[in-house]
Structure 1
Amino acid sequence: MLSRVAADLYWLARYVERAENTARLLDVASRLSSMPTTYAGRTNEWESAMTATGGNFLFDQRYEEANRRNVIDFLAFSPENPSSIASCLATARQSARSVRTAITREMWEVINDAWLELRRHSVDSMSPRQLAEFLLFVKDSCLRLDGFAYRTMLRTDAHAFYNMGTFIERGDATARILDVKYHVLLPEQDGVGSGLDYFQWASILRSASALTAYQWVFRDALRPWRVAELLTLRKELPRSIVNCAENTLWFLDKLANDYGRQGPAQRAARAYHAGLVNNSIDGIYQEGLHEFLQRVIRQNNALGEAIEAQYLR
């Protein structure tokens, strides 16, 4: 496969996953903002959503305040934000158009329809109900594309590159969301176990579609260390960091078998995955949750760069 085609498939998946993750963050911010002050906390939930995407610097250059309208505009519609939902879907559509022969008709129709539908929406028409419907549309479109990729793509190297993009992006998003909760969402003066603490940890689980999963795995009230364990080390959860690392390694090994050789990307993936499966939640808290998550983000980014250098250039 040409490196150009592989790169388009990889980034198609990454941008679609990024659009879905951004929609999930906006959904959580909207839910928290609608709660009574007692449970919403003293921090700005819209600013927290912005922090989780890593777009603060670009946002601060264009807006004076991280309020509802500005954050929705920047994260959902702004063409000046390369990671906005609109920008992600537009870039994903362009990548899909470049590799029409490597994806299926159903996949193309989903991404093209989503791009066309998106143009009907703007920040000026975002009442709370319309925002919820818009975010549901974005998440459903991304999930449909994921489902069609799973059900209709041939299990060739094209399928491997597409899935590696998905899991690299998903692992990064999970780490960032959890790190923001640890540092931004809960003010220092609010104790662990308060009503505020419960609703904010629940919001993090909802952003990863993991609230029901938590109840199945632990069958207990929300505990911060168990939420952290679920999102980092429990491979049963599709959005956990270790699950994303494991799947990335699996597809890299498949490419190595298909192409008859391994490289730096496979070695980086093994080291990354081994560091996760050999860890424990006690070890994470001894290191410091923030320090652990920052290290995970760096390793995940380094793995993405290794994949690009080995296959996509």
Structure 2
Amino acid sequence: MLSRTADHLFWMARYTERAENTARMLDVNYQTSLLPQSNEAAEQGWRGLLSISELTADYHHRHDRIRAREVMDFMVRDDTNPSSIHSCLRAARENARAVRGALTTEVWETANRTWLEFEGQVAGGAWQRDPAEFFEWVKFRSHLSRGVTLGTMLQDESFHFLRLGTFLERADNTARLLDVKFHAADNEFFGARRGPQREPVEIDFYYWSAILRSVSGFEVYRKVYRNVIRPEKVAELLILRPDMPRSLAACMNEVVANLEHLANEHSGETLRRAGRLRADLGFGRIDEILATGLHAFLTQFLDRVGDLGMGISRDFLVPA
């Protein structure tokens, strides 16, 4: 396969997944912003969302302060923001168009229709009238894209580059969400418990429930743990459980499996690093991770995923 074709397929999948993850992060912030909390806590939540995507500086170039509506507008329809849902869906569609011949008709039509419907929703203001419903629509279109890919495409190199892009992006976004949300929880909830006044247990429940729902993990958590929601168990589910579809372990299993299908004479080192990262997750324990520091672990994970992305680009794709 031509490296340029592989590049378009890889980034088509990454941008589709990134749009979904942006919608998920916006949704959890929107839902938690409805809980009783101080203005400072609400602002910190939106600040954390910008931090996840490393967009704080870009946002402040356009706006003087952090407001929920302006952050959502920046992350949904601002075409100058490369990580907005608008930019991601447009880039996914353009990459799909560039390799139309490598895709089935159903895959192309799904990407094209998603972009056209998004334009209609933004023009009509539907996302502003009901943000939660709009975020569900973005997630549904991403699910549809993956389902059509699995159901109609030959499982050849094109298929594996699409899957590789999907799960590398998902691993990156899940780690970012965990890092920022656990840091915010430590300050807002755990810190409050050390003082004379304890925060209500209900606040904890709704906060962690919203985070689990943002990764479609609430029902999975209840099925696996069958008890109250505890932060360390949330971390375990989203980091180490290989049977949780959006966990870091599950993502790395898919990354390694697809890299093995695509392996060439240049990719040995990239495959070795991916396999080592998968092994660290496969044999990791949440108590050890928490003892050494969750932030440090996730920061290192993000660095290693970024290194894998550069390795994949070097071994298979158009050089950056």
**TM-score, normalised to structure 2's length?**
0.91
Aligned residue for 1:209?
216
Deviation at 1:197, TM superposition (A): 2.5
Q: Which deviates the most, 128-137 or 276-285? A: 128-137
Letter in 1 for 2:253: E
Give yes or no for the alignment of 1:244 onto 2:246: no
Deviation at 1:65, TM superposition (A): 1.8
Deviation at 1:42, TM superposition (A): 5.3
Deviation at 1:295, TM superposition (A): 0.7
Length, aligned pairs only: 311
Letter in 1 for 2:82: P
The whole-number CA distance in structure 1 between the counterparts of 2:240 and 2:93 is 33
Q: Which deviates the most, 34-43 or 179-188? A: 34-43
| SS class of match (1:119) | helix
Q: Which deviates the most, 274-283 or 242-251? A: 274-283
The whole-number CA distance in structure 1 between the counterparts of 2:38 and 2:274 is 44
Please tell me whether the aligned partners of residues 201 and 224 of structure 1 are also in contact (alpha carbons under 8 angstroms). yes
Aligned residue for 1:308?
313
Deviation at 1:261, TM superposition (A): 7.1
Aligned residue for 1:274?
279
Tell me the C-alpha RMSD between the 2 structures. 2.1
Taking a change above 3 Å as real, the CA distance of residues 124 and 149 of structure 1, as seen in their structure-2 partners, is: closer
User: Alignment identity in percent?
Assistant: 39
The whole-number CA distance in structure 1 between the counterparts of 2:217 and 2:54 is 22
Aligned residue for 2:202?
195
Letter in 1 for 2:260: D
Deviation at 1:260, TM superposition (A): 6.9
Aligned residue for 1:83?
83
Aligned residue for 1:73?
73
Structure 1: 5+ residue stretches without partners? none
Please tell me whether the aligned partners of residues 12 and 92 of structure 2 are also in contact (alpha carbons under 8 angstroms). yes
Please tell me whether the aligned partners of residues 82 and 88 of structure 2 are also in contact (alpha carbons under 8 angstroms). yes
Please tell me whether the aligned partners of residues 127 and 134 of structure 2 are also in contact (alpha carbons under 8 angstroms). no
Please tell me whether the aligned partners of residues 32 and 40 of structure 1 are also in contact (alpha carbons under 8 angstroms). no
Please tell me whether the aligned partners of residues 45 and 184 of structure 2 are also in contact (alpha carbons under 8 angstroms). no
Letter in 2 for 1:99: V
The whole-number CA distance in structure 2 between the counterparts of 1:120 and 1:62 is 25
Give yes or no for the alignment of 1:223 onto 2:223: no
Q: Which deviates the most, 270-279 or 11-20? A: 270-279
The whole-number CA distance in structure 2 between the counterparts of 1:121 and 1:71 is 18
Aligned residue for 2:97?
97
Aligned residue for 1:297?
302
Aligned residue for 1:253?
260
**TM-score, normalised to structure 1's length?**
0.93
Aligned residue for 2:196?
none
The whole-number CA distance in structure 2 between the counterparts of 1:130 and 1:42 is 19
Q: Which deviates the most, 81-90 or 107-116? A: 107-116
Taking a change above 3 Å as real, the CA distance of residues 7 and 21 of structure 1, as seen in their structure-2 partners, is: same
